[in-house]
Amino acid sequence: MGERRCLYCQQNFQPSKFQRRQAVCGEADCQRRRRADYHRRKLNADPEYREVCRDSPRKWRSRHPDYWKQYRQKNPESVEQNRQQQQLRDRKRRLRNLANNTSALDLKHSAAQVWLVGSGAADLANNNSAPAQIWVIEALSPHRGPVPPSCKQHPAGVAVDPAA
Q: Which residues bind Zn ion (CB under 5 A)?
A: 6, 8-9, 25, 27, 30
Between 27 and 55, name the residue whose CB sits nearer to Zn ion. 27
Smallest distance, Zn ion to C-beta of residue 163, A: 52
CB 30 within 8 A of CB 22: no
Smallest distance, Zn ion to C-beta of residue 19, A: 14
Smallest distance, Zn ion to C-beta of residue 12, A: 9
Between 27 and 123, name the residue whose CB sits nearer to Zn ion. 27
CA atoms within 13 A of residue 146's CA, in its CB half-sphere: 4
**Rounded CA separation 114/135 (Å):** 7
Smallest distance, Zn ion to C-beta of residue 37, A: 13
Which helix (H) or strand (E) segment is 29 a member of?
Answer: helix 28-45
Between 6 and 116, name the residue whose CB sits nearer to Zn ion. 6
Residues in the chain: 164
| Amino acid making up residue 49 | Y
133 forms beta bridges with 117
Between 37 and 80, name the residue whose CB sits nearer to Zn ion. 37
